[in-house]
Each structure stands twice: as structure tokens, then as C-alpha cells.
């Protein structure tokens, strides 16, 4: 990541006008394939709206919008799953490969002090695994689950941050 990218990434609270951009990002078939565990029907706007209404109304979920060079690039969040705190992020495909996810997750981890934190990534999502490892996560296990976007069971790594 070059220094220019690092200076152009910031996190802020999610606002209503971010949601159409998040929905648009969710429509990309390649992003869905890489994210693996996605909505059953990414084009279902009612389900998307209900999901985000639930997320934004849940005080136990920490979620931030990722802004890059003044544009909404994606989101990063922390929530409880399987009895553990887990982080996840989503970037619009046009923002991939620029170090934005690493910088955003790093800033988010400065904000979320709870540890340990877990994350999950499909074994073939090398870029996401690298982002997590650059932010201090280490592979601690494996799992598999049904992927709506791939329509079959997918193997994933479980990663943990101290």
C-alpha cells in the first residue's frame, strides 16, 4: 500500500445514504463469489433493507462505513457469532488491491478494543486472508459451510486476533 492510499482511508458512522451503495456493491457476482457467505438472493432489496435495519438497530454490533478519497468504499463491522466476536468487511470491487481493506480494518481494530476477535475467510480468498494476517490475525482453525453465492459447501479458515 502506498502512503497516498493510507491517508485517503477513513471510517465514519453508517448513514442512510450509504445503503444504496452497499446494495449496489452486493450485486457484483465476483464480489459475492469471493465473500462466499452472502445473502440468499443479493438482488432482493426488501431482504437487504430488513437486514440493514436489524444491523443498524442492534447496539451490540459495531459498524462503520469505509470512505476512500471521499467516496463510500464499503463497510467494516464487529458482531457476535457462534459465541465469539467476529469482524467482517466488504469493499466495492473497484477498491480492491489498493490497501484500503488493510488500512480500514487496522483503524477499526484501534476502535474495537475487545479481544479475542475472530474472522472467517474462504480458503481460496487469498487477498482477504492476507488483509487479516497483516492486521495481526492468525489462522487457528478450519470450518465449512454452505455458500449461497457458490451453491455448494465451501471450506474456510477461522482466524483469531489475540
115 forms beta bridges with none
142 located within any domain: no
150 located within any domain: no
162 located within any domain: no
14 located within any domain: yes
Per-residue pLDDT reduced to its tens digit, 13-71: 999 999 999 999 988 888 878 887 777 888 899 999 999 999 999 999 999 999 999 99
What pLDDT does 6 receive? 64
CATH number, domain with residue 58: 3.40.630.30
C-alpha cell at 28: 457484483
146 located within any domain: no
Domain of residue 88, residue span: 3-118
Work out the percent of the chain whose per-residue pLDDT is above 90.
78
Are 56 and 14 a contacting pair, CB within 8 Å? yes
Confidence of residue 1 (pLDDT cuts 50, 70, 90): very low
Whole-angstrom Cα distance, residue 35 to residue 32?
5
Are 11 and 63 a contacting pair, CB within 8 Å? no
15 located within any domain: yes
Are 39 and 54 a contacting pair, CB within 8 Å? no
Whole-angstrom Cα distance, residue 119 to residue 20?
26
CA distances from 15 to 65, 91, 117, 126 (A): 8, 16, 25, 31
Whole-angstrom Cα distance, residue 87 to residue 68?
20
133 located within any domain: no
Where are the alpha helices (H) located in 27-113, listed in sequence order? 29-35, 45-57, 100-111
* Residue with the larger pLDDT of the pair 88 and 38: 88
Amino acid at each position: 500500500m502506498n502512503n497516498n492510499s493510507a491517508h485517503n482511508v477513513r471510517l465514519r458512522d453508517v448513514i442512510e445514504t450509504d445503503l444504496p451503495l452497499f446494495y449496489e456493491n452486493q450485486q457484483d457476482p465476483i464480489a459475492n463469489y469471493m465473500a462466499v457467505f452472502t445473502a440468499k438472493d443479493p438482488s432482493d432489496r426488501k431482504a437487504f433493507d430488513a437486514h440493514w435495519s436489524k444491523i443498524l438497530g442492534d447496539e451490540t454490533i459495531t459498524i462503520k462505513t469505509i470512505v476512500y478519497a471521499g467516496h463510500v468504499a464499503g463497510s467494516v463491522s464487529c458482531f457476535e457469532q457462534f459465541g465469539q466476536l467476529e469482524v467482517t468487511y466488504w469493499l466495492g470491487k473497484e477498491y480492491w488491491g489498493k490497501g484500503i481493506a488493510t488500512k480500514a480494518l487496522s483503524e477499526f481494530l484501534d476502535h474495537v478494543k475487545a479481544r479475542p476477535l475472530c474472522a472467517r475467510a474462504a480458503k481460496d480468498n487469498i487477498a482477504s486472508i492476507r488483509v487479516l494476517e497483516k492486521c495481526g490475525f492468525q489462522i487457528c482453525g478450519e470450518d465449512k459451510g454452505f455458500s449461497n453465492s457458490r451453491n455448494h459447501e465451501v471450506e474456510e479458515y477461522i482466524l483469531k486476533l489475540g
